[in-house]
A and B are shown apart, each in its own frame.
Chain A
């Protein structure tokens, strides 16, 4: 009798486990990440079929900078995660995307030779995900000669002033302008901006123009990295701003902590208004520097990570399933947007997918909506691309990053911005509702 009871008991347990397992897998199978029908409240990966793509792979490639202290490969790695999601959801009409990511050590020879390798040896149909301090400048002419338009995340001038790049972010120049115009709105009596000296000439010029338009003085400070004398540097910035002035910092989380810690140590946090470009808008920095709660006004080029909008939700899901080791951050969001736009371009190609047809599709991209950006993304056949030029401001609060303002257009102090907005109207690049 007892053995019968035991057998029955074991049978019940095994059965329960099997049922639960079936439910779990079927639940997973019923709602794999990124599948379903795209709507105003749901974002999907590519075609959203939930079935793996098994056809002939479509080759894409990218080059990201990786130097000690600055790792941009996160952008490309997340684009790859997005492509994995697309491949698990029917790919591009049944064909999976194969993405090759090279890293370069800020070496121009390497940048040029890797571009050639991708186009001529690896024979990719498109290049996406490029992020570097120098690669735009090194390769824009080569990409132009081959008819390639690169969707990536930019830093330097050539990423926003040549036809070869259409970036999902706005880069430090415009992000700094956004931070500066916010500080002016908050009543700053002068403007000071500090960037790494390697990008300062391009990144800081706009802030001077904002100050000019507001009739207040401005100072630009190119800072040599790595920062060895943060105390002197921060004192210099605050002295130049004067009481009630505004200081815009333009550094990544590798360098910003030294300056912010110095400001705290020297008791300077309440002496001036603080602003910053996007890179320090993340939870880690918010937790590390509660002294800056509500006082650091960050211009953020992409949407808020936890804001619950469809693409942010999908972004978090893709992270969990395909890139669990990448923390939620702006670089990941850039990678998501890059993957999203490249996929849209691929899906819009009629006929065989070649380098020519794909890049033509990229150039034809317009009104590409995403909840991660204030306005739809576009490329267009124009002389240069600044598609992301409207964004939000955020600040730290209780260890998190919270929104401060809604979508605000970047002040058109640059003729390129005015021209870009004229093109947007003329060609209906992002005007569809």
Chain B
């Protein structure tokens, strides 16, 4: 019971700590921190229509974060969610472009599958290099993010360029309306259903299958896994593929849902925020949903922050980064204070 209570209180305590730290910084920078937090809460959750807007950002975030959680749980730091998201978007956009004119009931699911395949493939090569030759996955997935961002720039300003675009930001043509699964508000039964399926499948995969049990074991104690006869090779590759496919799914939902097209450098913080969501939720699926709603709310508030509080939108980025810095800190309830003391004062 204590463990479970701590699991809930810990992330809340860190978010509170990050809020206080950022509040101090914002006050020193000459903004009113209280006005700012008030406008965040209004803009994200309490204002009229705010919750729907938060949900629009939370749903793709949730889908990606479930995948990130699965690979982290397995002990692989797949921090390439951003790149997998972009590659999923690129392949879904290519598929949708190829199937222009086809019946939507056929084209949309195929395009979403193509997006998942694109994301999974972009997670496959770091996973393969990691398991085959011990190449560190942190660097390969990070580099994959930069490469995927450049490929996205290439695709949106080359093969799939919208010729009537304004030139400010290269983007593809808008999808035809029958290919869209939601309006630009981004909340529709189809998207909610996809997220629910991801949530339920993710929960079953983690809690009710051999894969989930062995993956948790692999993350906590790989030696034990070897003694149990588990195959790290299959588990690892599977966790990479699942996380990549879910990032690709989030991208196809974004393409066929609220965005309707892909643009170079769209949603630049998606992958990082999804990692944060997974960490705050300590990889539990139900908690991931709540955390995604929280960070989605922050994201949607960031759009209104300059209008409401006169504060730059990067304030939210800073806040997220402070949470990332602190979230893995290992301060238990008992050992918390001791760590601050010099060694000779500890008992």
The reply to whether chain A is a binding partner of chain B is no
